[in-house]
Amino acid sequence: MPEQADPQASGRILVRKFRRADHRAILDITEDSFGGFCLEANMEKHFGPIAGTSWSERKRDGIGYDLRRHPNDTFVAEVDGEVAGYVATRLYSSILTGHVANMAVRRSFQGIGVGKALMQAALDHFRREGMQYARVETLEQNFKGQRFYPGCGFKEIGRQIFYFREL
């Protein structure tokens, strides 16, 4: 995968395949980036900790699942040698669709092109793997995502409402 330079970054943005050594940094970025922008945080806002776990623990578990199940479909961005963000993808070959399951950029690296470089890596990966479509979803309160994804060529095709309750 080629290195991608960004003139606004303090150095160069390098997007590469996930390595096991990235696991801790990815989990830290997840906690740094997803507060207020994930279902787990929404559930906790209304119900408190679920099963004695925080939203960040549950979100980290979900990311850990992707890292274990789809390590070859996960990409990491580095800026000046520091892990700045990641994108975890899934391939649905039967419907020729690549799915951006999770993407996050450490707050201190947002706004310098890291997200664009990660999305480009995901889309390139989908094309190499023979996918013909790409999908991504975001929550209504993620205003950055609602601007970012259309800027990457995605079109809104529908909205979904999530419900949760105690039993």
pLDDT tens by residue, 4-54? 443 344 459 999 999 999 999 999 999 988 877 899 999 999 999 999 999
State residue 34's pLDDT score. 87
Q: What is the mean pLDDT of residues 70-86?
A: 96
Instruction: From 69, 80, 92, 76, select the one nearest 30 (Cα to Cα).
Output: 76
Confidence of residue 74 (pLDDT cuts 50, 70, 90): very high
Per-residue pLDDT, 3: 43
Burial state string for 86-116 with b = 16 or more CB within 10 A and e = fewer than 16:
bbbbbbeeeeeebbbbbbbbbeebeebbbbb
Which domains can be identified in the chain, with CATH numbers? 13-151 (3.40.630.30)
Q: What is the pLDDT of residues 108-133, one digit of tens each?
A: 999 999 999 999 999 999 999 999 99
pLDDT at 64: 93
Residues 131-148: pLDDT tens digits?
999 999 999 999 899 999
Q: Supply the pTM of this predicted model.
A: 0.89
